[in-house]
Structure 1
Amino acid sequence: MSEYQYYEFQALDRPLSPEEQEQLRAISTRARITATSFTNTYNWGDLSANPRHMVERYFDAHLYVTNWGTHRLLLRLSKQALALPTVKPYCLDHQVDAWTTRTHLLLDLTSEDEGGDWIEGADDSLAALIGVRDELATGDLRPLYLAWLSALAAWELEDDSEEEYQTCPEPPVPAGLGELTAPQRALADFLRVDGDLLAVAAQASPVTPKTSARPAKKELAPLIAALPQKEKDALLLRLALGPEPQLRTGLLHRLYGTTAAPATVPGRRSAAQLLDAAHTRRTERRQRAEHERAATRAQHLTTLASEADSTWRQIEAHITTKKTNAYDQAVTLLAELRDAYAHIGRSTDFRQRLISLREDYRRRPGLIHRLDRHGLR
């Protein structure tokens, strides 16, 4: 498989000017550039610019995917919508990073998996993920916690000491981890968040999230009614004056900021406690699955043993056709019958019928060869 890199940038709060589009064209002559986007795919070479700098200057979101296992999401929000001190507790290693410019806060979320879950021809785009930006702007911190969990699982794979895990504190736990939104589920998949680790983390999360990226009319109406009249007039004036970046998200942030319900609860567990609990849950889940498979198998063998005569007739019918694929089907049924007889403690009976069958068809080398190959002697 050849090298594959996919870059996508989106401008959401304002369109790019013609001058800015020309500046971007100097970065790549092959990229598809519009007033709101920059996309390009590389099978050799690379982007001749730093994605961080491009997001700082031009864009509000960036997605990067490679066929060697890198998944990266960059988001830019106004500093009024999301403050750096709020984000810092969720930063871990190089996989969750945040910094500010004069006007914005930027998030860099990365997942690496050299083992790879790459699917050639997959539809990679920001569309499924971009909703987390509005969620963060309205105070929903679940995307940050998901990114921290992703980084924690990756950190576990590195050669760090147990003491580091014991002393690494859990960040504030957002409400609603057990009921993620569609963009958050997409983010969890994109960052390869371990399902058992998420389930353990959600045990400390309040059930009802504080807010959502697309609040309902009945949810917003009483919050708007409670705003002072002067503030409503000021908001309407800003709207009438023309497009203003972050007006909607700023308003939502203001509305939900008037509520008393906390968006998070304090993190009380260490990284080691979360990882150990996830390991225990994973082990128990796999054991339950194994027990269920064993029970299903036992029931199948019991049923097959009770219908043994019918199955022997099917085997005979397959053999008499003298066709290669029919021989294969007969051998498959015989192997299943062997297990069924053993399951009910009648292996001797099966052995006697198998000897008789081999004797009856000893002049069928193709069949005998298959029986030998599967240990049906």
Structure 2
Amino acid sequence: MSEYQYYEFLAVDRPLDADQLRQVRALSTRATISPSRFVNEYQWGDFKGDSTKLVEQLYDAHLYFANWGSRRLVLRLPALTLSKKTAVPYALEELLTVWTRSGHTLLDFSLECEDGEEWDFETSWELSSLIGLRAELAAGDLRPLYLAWLAALTVWELAEDDEEEYVRATEPPVPAGLGDLTGPQCTLADFLNVDPHLLAVAARASDPAPPPRGPDRRELATFIAALPVKEKDDLLLHAALGTHPQPGPKLLAHYRSTTADRTTANRQPSPRSAAALLDAAAAHRTERTRHEQEAHRTAVEERSRAAARAHQRHLDRIARDLDQAWKDVDDLISQKNPTAYDTAATLLRDLREIHAQRNTLPEYDRRAGALRAAHSNKPALMRRFDTLGVPAT
């Protein structure tokens, strides 16, 4: 199987300048490069650059996947919008790694699949379907982090067998809206192979997502007035210098996180253990399978009943004029070709069923036997009569 690798980088907050563009162009002669995007596909060879350093220094998002199963998504956000302290509780195993660099929090979602030999070449991703996660995280939506924790829990379950460890390990804070993911979050769940049954049971402890709305102007004004003077001065300084060109989202994220802390602090349920979640997912999977099997049986039975009703209507139409039906059989036999013989045999089978329903099978045997005697010199037809069980007179 030939190799395939996909690399993509996006600059969201600030496009690359001329010097930075020269730096990344030196890494690849075949890549599609613009001030905001770098993308390259490899059928052979490998990328010469350091993907992690490129995100730390230049880009805000990076996507990588290969046909042997490796997958990686790296997001860089200003630390003011998402702190390392907030994200770390969701980092389990090596599926999610969190670190800070130059005033940014970096999230590395990485998955090593074991089914690379079953790669579907129709399966692919682009950062355009995942980049919305960055804005969601900046706005305080932690569902992407919880999805990573669920994916890691599945990987952990497959790799470990220490039941006591599962009992001791508990879930991180459960964000609202797990039962109604956004488009980018659905793509992330697919990208990380999140078990849908595990997600379903995890969502039971998740409040509904609040309707999207802008901040209350009066509350926001009160919040800004209460900020430390140094924090406000730093925001204005960064905006003036262009070092952080989007102070608005950072300020709104801070405001939302503060109001969310006030409104949800008393609503967080007791954290569930990893063992409890995995057991509940197994039960959910079993129940869902039972429902699907029952639905399949019901559908099969209904199709069978519908076919029986249609067949009976067909028999009723033939039964309206049995003499004509017997004449049709004789006319078909007279055509002396296999297709006509097959049609005649099918009509004879229907006639036998009609006579059975009317308790007149002796009449059927008499008329079918007469046909057999009249056409006994036709071997191909006789074979069909034998199959039908038409008696010889």
Aligned 1:317-356 pairs, distance under 5 A = 322=338
Counterpart-to-counterpart distance in 1, 2:156 and 2:294: 32
Deviation at 1:90, TM superposition (A): 0.9
CA shift in 2, pair 1:102/1:266, >3 Å: farther
Q: Is the aligned partner of 1:208 residue 2:209?
A: yes
Deviation at 1:104, TM superposition (A): 1.8
Q: Is the aligned partner of 1:226 residue 2:222?
A: yes
Deviation at 1:144, TM superposition (A): 0.3
CA shift in 2, pair 1:21/1:270, >3 Å: same
Is contact 1:169-1:267 (8 Å) kept? no
CA shift in 2, pair 1:182/1:303, >3 Å: closer
Residue matched to 1:129 = 130
CA RMSD of aligned residues (A): 3.9
Amino acid in structure 2 at the alignment position of 1:28: S
CA shift in 2, pair 1:84/1:240, >3 Å: closer
Q: Percent identity?
A: 44
Amino acid in structure 1 at the alignment position of 2:298: A
Give the SS at the match of 2:64: strand
Between stretches 153-162 and 230-239, larger displacement belongs to 230-239
Counterpart-to-counterpart distance in 1, 2:154 and 2:307: 44
User: Could you report, residue by residue, the CA deviation over 1:163-208 in whole angstroms, capped at 9, with x for unpaired residues?
Assistant: 3222222111112212222222222222221211111001111223
Q: Is the aligned partner of 1:275 residue 2:292?
A: no
Query: Max radius of gyration: which structure?
Result: 2
Residue matched to 2:181 = 180
User: Could you report, residue by residue, the CA deviation over 1:230-256 in whole angstroms, capped at 9, with x for unpaired residues?
Assistant: 979966786566573441321112221
Counterpart-to-counterpart distance in 2, 1:279 and 1:168: 18
Q: Is the aligned partner of 1:294 residue 2:297?
A: yes
Q: Is the aligned partner of 1:248 residue 2:248?
A: yes
Amino acid in structure 2 at the alignment position of 1:147: A
Is contact 1:62-1:74 (8 Å) kept? yes
CA shift in 2, pair 1:242/1:285, >3 Å: same
CA shift in 2, pair 1:304/1:20, >3 Å: same
Amino acid in structure 1 at the alignment position of 2:291: R
Deviation at 1:306, TM superposition (A): 3.9
CA shift in 2, pair 1:197/1:121, >3 Å: closer
Give the SS at the match of 1:8: strand
Counterpart-to-counterpart distance in 2, 1:230 and 1:292: 59
Residue matched to 2:325 = none
Q: Is the aligned partner of 1:303 residue 2:306?
A: yes
Is contact 2:238-2:245 (8 Å) kept? no
Give the SS at the match of 2:41: strand
Between stretches 225-234 and 135-144, larger displacement belongs to 225-234
Residue matched to 2:326 = none
Deviation at 1:138, TM superposition (A): 2.3
User: Could you report, residue by residue, the CA deviation over 1:70-95 in whole angstroms, capped at 9, with x for unpaired residues?
Assistant: 22110111222222222221111111
Between stretches 236-245 and 197-206, larger displacement belongs to 236-245
Q: Is the aligned partner of 1:169 residue 2:170?
A: yes
Is contact 2:239-2:246 (8 Å) kept? no
Counterpart-to-counterpart distance in 2, 1:195 and 1:282: 9
Residue matched to 2:196 = 195
Counterpart-to-counterpart distance in 2, 1:136 and 1:67: 29
Counterpart-to-counterpart distance in 2, 1:131 and 1:22: 28
CA shift in 2, pair 1:300/1:241, >3 Å: same
Deviation at 1:55, TM superposition (A): 1.1
Deviation at 1:124, TM superposition (A): 2.5
Counterpart-to-counterpart distance in 2, 1:43 and 1:240: 45
TM-score between both structures, scaled by the size of structure 2: 0.73
Residue matched to 1:10 = 10
Counterpart-to-counterpart distance in 2, 1:362 and 1:283: 56
> Where does the alignment leave 5 or more consecutive residues of structure 2 unmatched?
319-328, 354-360, 389-393
Between stretches 28-37 and 220-229, larger displacement belongs to 220-229
Counterpart-to-counterpart distance in 1, 2:382 and 2:67: 48
TM-score between both structures, scaled by the size of structure 1: 0.76
Residue matched to 2:72 = 72
Counterpart-to-counterpart distance in 1, 2:26 and 2:129: 29
Judging by fraction of residues, say which structure has more helix.
Answer: 2
Counterpart-to-counterpart distance in 2, 1:79 and 1:192: 28
